Structure 1
């Protein structure tokens, strides 16, 4: 074990370890976008990689939970451990060619702020992922994707500190094992490494992706949105703005409504199950496993596909959940995969609400949904 100890336990509400201040009994309600009350036994802010080493020397690493933007976490209760708030910042151009740039970003940088910066430089590759809440480090861990664009397509490498030794290791894209909404840091190396820096390869002569669409919701077409305010040839900034327009229109404003975005992952089902569900639902959209963007059923040869992904929101919507309220919790009126509450919900109540929805989907369709949100406490 990396020279860890627990001498921080004392009567004081906070204690300093060189540059790291550890606070006791810290309220996390303002640090998660669901704004659910939760008290952690110990709390520290990470502003530089060396802070992690100091913190690991002062705590039991097995109790450590790294918190980024708090947009993908549900605190179901108090946390008996240490929460570290990732705040490592910095955006640096480390390599440039005639066609590409490699940008190194601190894991604590806000993702949308970084996307906005990249778009201002006219570098392409992440403009479709505008307005996704969270940090750059979390984006790498979760392997985010939106509106037909995927971070894996521009992913270069990350630096991460091994919890047990304090050593820094660089992981290539291949070593990160990036798959649908996951990476090695959510599977075999979960809790074993803490990402400090992310590097992305962005493009100067970028091919725009405007093919995204969603059945039954005409305004979710990127091309349709672009036609309302821009003229061809479209620019990177045009696509960025179109995504912002769509997301602003259909998703709750996180400054006004507590939410953690899409709660469930899109489930993987067999072709047999897909065909069964298609007989019940008109024009049921699905994803091919090797692609993360939406695809039309007419555009795929089902005989070559054994499994596909279904839009979880469509299954929930089909059961009439959109706009429905139980107690203090509610499904968003304009998007069935988004859940919120009136400010009075507890973490346990909110978790139970999501479990009720999941259970109803399973009972009706035989499909069990998996949470995209990390449940803590």
Structure 2
């Protein structure tokens, strides 16, 4: 059923007060296709968990809330499980389901907010793992025609925190299900960040996908604010990649600048370090600010306006560009 003038505060983890002129929640494919016919050429905004958007104004169009549910074992081989997950499933709940069933490969991605539908769109990643590493295919409805299409790994053109759905096909498809290829034999990844240190602190002797998941959850909870307590959308900025020669030049000027070597003579520089060095960490401005523990995270302490958070983000971008000559880019979708 279509609803009019619906408040969107419950549907975005920033907790921004905004409204939609029309709102429709769909639980099956037929309902989605009917809604698209009804919408005609009205502006569309598709919401999953609302954990990767910043609303800066009321939305004068149709908000479609993805509530497709279901997790299904499609097939298995000697080495893999092929699991189809409906796009409205909460990502972390799916990870817990995978762990309970000994489906390995997503344990390092524990506690990432959002839904399954947004996961391949963003190519979510953490602690040395990205979803593209376990991705098999997805299904998506074309907004213009209502037709269902299948996208294989190569079709998605995955990149760092992006895919074809954030570029050429942006706002042209609605992802309805994702099929992942998970492992029967775990390939433990504990070398990234503080995972091994945390496992040692936890006195884990028998390594498992559950113990890695528990370690990642502990790390994330110690560094990142809970959106239920402080409005936020997780990491607001992507970690930039720069040429190795440029990095070496910055290293000469700023000896403590960290960097992670990538292929093709590229270096990834932690955006959190850049933001902290420009003095933004922990800064507050009325009821918004930069988180005191993690400068990648912009926060709404209550009653903050999305437009002011956007302006703060752009000020941070300017500061980093001025000091280091590095262009940061938002990971969050600004609407």
TM-score in terms of structure 1 length: 0.86
| C-alpha displacement of 1:341 | 2.2
| Secondary structure, counterpart of 2:327 in structure 1 | coil
Contact 1:323 1:331 in 2 (8 A): yes
| Secondary structure, counterpart of 2:219 in structure 1 | helix
| C-alpha displacement of 1:179 | 1.0
Please tell me whether residue 205 in structure 1 is matched to residue 185 in structure 2: yes
Please tell me whether residue 224 in structure 1 is matched to residue 197 in structure 2: yes
Which aligned pairs between 1:35-184 and structure 2 lie closer than 5 A?
Answer: 35-61=15-41, 63-184=43-164
| Secondary structure, counterpart of 2:88 in structure 1 | coil
Match of 1:260?
233
Q: Which has the larger radius of gyration?
A: 1
- 1:341, 1:167 → 2: CA distance? 39
Match of 1:239?
212
| C-alpha displacement of 1:33 | 0.2
| Secondary structure, counterpart of 1:175 in structure 2 | helix
Relative to 1, partners in 2 of residues 1:349 and 1:60: Cα closer, same or farther, differing over 3 Å? same
Contact 1:65 1:84 in 2 (8 A): yes
Contact 1:230 1:238 in 2 (8 A): no
Spell out, residue by residue over 1:100-132, the C-alpha distance to the aligned partner (whole angstroms, 9 max, x if none): 100000000000000001011111100000000
| C-alpha displacement of 1:336 | 0.9
Match of 1:14?
none
Contact 2:69 2:89 in 1 (8 A): yes
Match of 2:293?
334
- 2:245, 2:189 → 1: CA distance? 31
- 1:326, 1:133 → 2: CA distance? 25
User: For 1:318, which of 277, 286, 292 is the aligned residue?
Assistant: 277
Contact 1:326 1:353 in 2 (8 A): no
Relative to 1, partners in 2 of residues 1:318 and 1:227: Cα closer, same or farther, differing over 3 Å? same
Match of 1:13?
none
Superposed structure 1 runs of 4+ greater than 6 Å apart: none
| C-alpha displacement of 1:35 | 0.3
- 1:279, 1:121 → 2: CA distance? 50
Match of 2:11?
31
Contact 1:61 1:163 in 2 (8 A): no
Give structure 1 stretches of 5+ with no counterpart.
Answer: 1-20, 214-220, 291-304
Match of 2:306?
347
- 2:204, 2:115 → 1: CA distance? 32
Relative to 1, partners in 2 of residues 1:92 and 1:173: Cα closer, same or farther, differing over 3 Å? same
| Secondary structure, counterpart of 2:166 in structure 1 | coil
Match of 1:364?
323
Spell out, residue by residue over 1:264-303, the C-alpha distance to the aligned partner (whole angstroms, 9 max, x if none): 111122223211221233343324445xxxxxxxxxxxxx
Aligned positions, number:
335
